[in-house]
Structure 1
Amino acid sequence: MQFVKTAFLAAATLAVTYGAHAQTADELIAKHVAALGGMEKIKGINSLVMKTKIEVMGNEAEGTQTLLTGKGFRSESEIMGNKMVQVVTDKGGWSINPMTGGGAQPIPEEQYKAAKDQLDIAGPLVDYASKGNKLELQGREKVGSVDAYKLKLTAKDGGLTTFYLDPNTYYIIQSVKQMNMMGQDVEMIVSMADYKKTDYGFVMPHTINTDFGGQFQIATKVSKVDVNTPVDTKIFEMPK
């Protein structure tokens, strides 16, 4: 009888622990949403146009990133006289890279899979369940000097990304995404800092450093943000 009682208490403890674990993850997301300006602000964003300064392998350039929420994302810059363009839409993507051969080319499926999150200004954490994603809180882990919350997100398509949240601000300070690049499985590590509130009231990082499996890095600084300005959808169409 004592064994049954002990087993019951152990099971109850596990159930409570699991429930608190899930609730804690959801509470973190709620605080993250509030830190960004709130759900109303996030869902009110139809478009975003950002002026950026980019550094790639020691070369600096100015660029423009244009997002039409859920429909298209375009990144354009000029490096060493070469115009670089990458476009992701809800149907696929394409790029122009003179260093790898001239005109517009469709991007590989694996690259598209890794890049399509850019269509969602809120990111995969916000409303994660309704997007078909699964979220697991995995305790804390040091990111630099920050003892960050570690959240493992499994996307609807099976993709894995680990997010690290600052316990004081609830901003994402780093994400680690598993992806395939040129036939190799690599980790794309994105570090985010210098969060600022836009005139619209949405808070976003203005310094973003991306490391593609140690093969190359891109440092991006946002200099200007315009929210809900008209966007011509033709900029997302692949040139023929």
Structure 2
Amino acid sequence: MKKLKFAILAVLISIMAIPVQAQTVDELQASYIKALGGKENLSALKNIFIETNMEVMGMQMPAKQWIIYGTASRQEVAFQGQKMVTFIAKDKGWMINPLMGSTEARPIPDDAVKAAEGTLIAGSELTDYKARGFTAVYKGKDTVNNIAAHKIILSRGNYESTFYLDPNSYYVIRNIVKTEVDQQTVTQTTDFSDYRKTPEGFVFAYNAVISNAMVGEIKSSISKIEINTSLDIKAMEQTN
């Protein structure tokens, strides 16, 4: 009888834990969206143009990026008189990388295209993870740069994206993405800082440090942002 009571108690505790966990993720998501200006504000963000100063192994690499949210993005990175171009759409992508001997557009693997999906979402995958088929789990708090940050893991198939939210501002201060590309696990960590609000009321992290095993550390700092301008998808898709 005593064992039965413990078994029933364990079942009740596990059942009770499910809605509490879901509610915690939903509450954090709501606070995150509010920190970025609110749901209506995010839905008004149609496209963006960004100029960025990038630093890789002490070398300066100016970059430009165009994003039509929900549709496609294009990034151009200048280096030693050459230009690396990456184009990502919802179901396809290509890259021109002269540093790797490629002067023509080459397809990006489907897994890599899916991993870049967050680029096309105003805010991030955390903004509307349910609609995109992600499972979300709240993992309590973890320390990031001396901050006890809320930790949320989104997963879908072999793709996993972990968000660390500042408990005071609810901004994302770290994002770790794990996925498989060509049957190899790829992990990328991005630390965000220097959040600012544009005159239109949109909030962006102006500084980021990206780390992965293939490239090492990339420092990125936004120097210019233009919002809701006339972006042409056909021009973004051009390979020249």
Q: TM-score, normalised by structure 1?
A: 0.91
Report Cα offsets for 1:72-128 as digits up to 9, x if no partner.
101112111111111101221111111112222111223222222211122111121
Q: How far does residue 8 in structure 1 lie from its aligned partner after superposition?
A: 4.2
1:181–1:59 distance in 2 versus 1, CA, 3 Å: farther
For structure 1, the residue ranges without an aligned partner over 5 or more in a row are: none
Q: How far does residue 54 in structure 1 lie from its aligned partner after superposition?
A: 0.9
| Residues 1-240 of structure 1: pairs in structure 2 closer than 5 A | 7-101=7-101, 102-155=103-156, 157-180=157-180, 184-213=184-213, 215-239=215-239
Q: How far does residue 6 in structure 1 lie from its aligned partner after superposition?
A: 5.5
1:214–1:91 distance in 2 versus 1, CA, 3 Å: closer
What amino acid is the match of 1:141?
D
Q: TM-score, normalised by structure 2?
A: 0.91
The answer on whether the counterparts of 1:75 and 1:86 sit within 8 Å (CA) in structure 2 is yes
Q: Which moved more, 1:177-186 or 1:25-34?
A: 177-186
4+ residue segments displaced more than 6 Å? none
RMSD of equivalent CA atoms: 2.0
Local SS of the residue matching 2:126 = coil
C-alpha distance in 2 between matches for 1:14 and 1:108: 40
Report Cα offsets for 1:22-70 as digits up to 9, x if no partner.
1111101100000000000101111011111111222102221110011
Q: Which moved more, 1:181-190 or 1:215-224?
A: 181-190
The answer on whether the counterparts of 1:76 and 1:84 sit within 8 Å (CA) in structure 2 is yes
C-alpha distance in 1 between matches for 2:108 and 2:84: 13
Q: State the aligned residue count.
A: 239
1:3–1:103 distance in 2 versus 1, CA, 3 Å: closer
1:5–1:196 distance in 2 versus 1, CA, 3 Å: same
Q: How far does residue 185 in structure 1 lie from its aligned partner after superposition?
A: 2.0
What amino acid is the match of 2:43?
K
1:183–1:159 distance in 2 versus 1, CA, 3 Å: closer
Q: Which moved more, 1:45-54 or 1:103-112?
A: 103-112
C-alpha distance in 2 between matches for 1:236 and 1:92: 13
What amino acid is the match of 1:198?
T
C-alpha distance in 2 between matches for 1:88 and 1:147: 34
Local SS of the residue matching 1:125 = helix
The answer on whether the counterparts of 2:158 and 2:179 sit within 8 Å (CA) in structure 1 is no
What amino acid is the match of 1:114?
A
